[in-house]
Structure 1
Amino acid sequence: MKIWNRIERYPEDAGRVVATIGNYDGVHRGHRVILSDVVAAARALRGSSLLITFDPHPLEVVAPERRPQLLQTRGQKLESLEETGLDAVLILAFDTTLAAMTGEQFFEAVLDRRVDLAEVRIGENFRFGHDRAGGVELLTAIGARRKFEVGSVSPVEIDGGIVSSSRIRQQIRDGQVESAAAMLGRPYTIRGEVTRGDGRGRKLRYPTANLSTRNELLPGNGVYVTEVVTGAARQAAVSNVGIRPTFHSGGTAVETHLIDFEGNLYGERMEVRFLARIRDEQKFADGVELSNQIARDLAAAEAFFENGRLAPL
């Protein structure tokens, strides 16, 4: 998959293009249906498939107070997009100039210069242009004038609701990581570097890896069954997201105990995949009470890995 960060770098000889346009934060199941459609249509034309996306998120420019916490880092997003079979991604720098363009101006000023559009495929709820004034109808009219086809794809529904990035974000904030995974098509995942903590986990006989992450959105405070990936190794684990109220430790942290693991992970890159929520974060009277609860958490996690579901605590 080719990645282009400026329209000027997009190759003029790319041939006929089937494209889609949007933020695609999370590259969830609804996104993947559209992208699969784009890839198939491009292959049928013997052309190339293209996603036109934006960085930063448009709301960061037009309404910073409403800017969402993103589901993926840029690197995660590009990895997910490559899995779909896309030929190329064009990342446009979203600024006030781009925000002020009408839909027609966007196609004229940005795409007409380089991209030989054969088709544009988008979701039924697609909006574009200044103040998000344009939708499928306007895009179809622009396509008729500029000689490209427009196709819309029906949204994916799960549990009576449309799969969307905003719905997934709320599920993650609420700690509903299993529901989020159903909509994402994979577990919600954060990445980062293992850093030194205060060593309390080791004193309690349950050493933890403390994750410093650039992911913006953390699951709601609580204890989770997780899977950890370090290099090529995968490990069953339990993760706590929260403020560690028993010890009045302050800011939010992600601490992970790897089950049946011995070793030093300091400085290592680590990926944490959230599989199920065990319980809310709690304040305990002392370290002994906390240690006993951790033992129960680990038993619940082990049952999950054996049976695919949580056992009652």
Structure 2
Amino acid sequence: MSGLPPQVRGTIVTMGTFDGVHLGHQAILRDVRDRARARNGCTALITFDPHPLRVVRPEAAPPLLTLPDEKKEILAQLGLDYVAFISFTLELSRYSPEKFVEDIIVPRFRPAEVVIGYDHGFGRGRSGDVSVLERLGGIHGFEVSVVGGVEADGSAVSSTRVRRAVASGDMEGAAAGLGRPYSFGGTVIRGLGRGRTLGFPTANLTSPPPEKLVPAEGIYAVCATLGSERLEGLLHLGPRPTFAGSPPAIELFLLDFDREIYGERVVVDVLHRLREVRSFASGDDLVAQMQRDLADGRDYFREMRT
């Protein structure tokens, strides 16, 4: 386990899982940057992969809002000098707060100050809290600062709250907590071509890894990033009950777009749930509903632009 370059000292350090990098996390990182500027020092974030609960209580581990690569991409935009992804193992889970500070934080990150969220716990069983960290700071010569919670729509932002919103299809609620739309990525693969025969050619996407949280089944208005293009579209997420035997799918219909994109990577920002998945008596009934969905989607995007 490596740390910062040896010449880097007096850092402003924060730590945590930071799943989602939501508005509460962003407030901590802003505070870290401000304190580093005041000290003319560097910033460092210590985070973990996999999620600690996947190691200590796999049955209770939540699905992830951000996969490691997604988290790295978001963090890269937030102006930190160093981000360390520490492999979370059973051995590490048994570290006492004292051992974690003495063996990892102090020698590898050499902090002048450690900044944590108001509800942060660290060390075995999350037994390290603010008072423990302040005591250890007194021993090892670093200061401790605590950042309070952030509210959105009248309640505290948390990864749990954002997960609940995504899982229920409340994409506006998820975006309110994240400060950005909820997204996932996939590669375009060949499907059965049924969408094209119905007049709605869709791009079938590979499913995200099983640990990634996928929104509730439904039809969504989305924005898709394809290379340098940003495209509006509709997303079918889940089963296809109208056609017996069809497996669940992630199907993306891009508005006013007609190009072969097999094998290309797409990142989908899921913006608004238009409706639930339903079964239709015939293909004609499904096409009529898809036309209504398209009209609703265009109305949604028109309102978004005004």
TM-score, L = length of structure 2? 0.96
Q: Distance in 2 between matches of 1:154 and 1:113?
A: 28
Number of the residue aligned with 1:210: 204
2:68 counterpart (71, 74, 89): 74
Q: Distance in 2 between matches of 1:253 and 1:171?
A: 21
Query: 1:250: Cα distance to partner?
Result: 5.0
Number of the residue aligned with 1:191: 185
SS at match of 2:84: strand
1:239 counterpart (221, 227, 235): 235
1:248 aligns with 2:254: no
SS at match of 2:107: coil
Query: 1:45: Cα distance to partner?
Result: 0.9
Q: Distance in 1 between matches of 2:246 and 2:57?
A: 30
Number of the residue aligned with 1:273: 269
SS at match of 2:108: coil
Number of the residue aligned with 1:127: 121
Q: How does 1:54-69 map to 2 (within 5 A)?
A: 54-69=48-63
Q: Distance in 1 between matches of 2:296 and 2:218?
A: 14
Q: Distance in 1 between matches of 2:136 and 2:106?
A: 12
2:136 counterpart (117, 129, 142): 142
Residues 242 and 249 of structure 1: is their aligned pair in 2 closer, same or farther, counting only changes over 3 Å? Answer: farther
Q: Distance in 1 between matches of 2:282 and 2:247?
A: 20
Query: 1:249: Cα distance to partner?
Result: 4.4
Cα distance per residue 1:74-94 (max 9 Å; x no partner): 111011111111101011111
SS at match of 2:206: strand
| Aligned length in residues | 303
1:48 counterpart (34, 42, 64): 42
Q: Distance in 1 between matches of 2:207 and 2:114?
A: 36
Number of the residue aligned with 1:164: 158
Unaligned runs of 5+ in 2: none
2:285 counterpart (269, 286, 289): 289
| 8 Å Cα contact 2:184/2:267 also seen in 1 | yes
Number of the residue aligned with 1:3: none
Number of the residue aligned with 1:88: 82
Query: 1:143: Cα distance to partner?
Result: 1.0
Q: Distance in 2 between matches of 1:80 and 1:25?
A: 11
| 8 Å Cα contact 1:190/1:213 also seen in 2 | no
2:11 counterpart (6, 17, 29): 17
1:263 aligns with 2:262: no
Query: 1:251: Cα distance to partner?
Result: 4.2
Cα distance per residue 1:210-237 (max 9 Å; x no partner): 1114351111000000011100011110
Query: 1:248: Cα distance to partner?
Result: 3.2
Q: Distance in 2 between matches of 1:108 and 1:252?
A: 49
SS at match of 2:114: strand
Query: 1:275: Cα distance to partner?
Result: 0.9
Moved more, 10-19 or 230-239: 10-19
**Which portions of structure 1, spanning 4 or more consecutive aligned residues, are displaced by more than 3 angstroms?**
248-252
| 8 Å Cα contact 1:243/1:249 also seen in 2 | no
Unaligned runs of 5+ in 1: 1-5
Number of the residue aligned with 1:115: 109
| 8 Å Cα contact 1:34/1:121 also seen in 2 | yes
Q: Percent identity?
A: 43
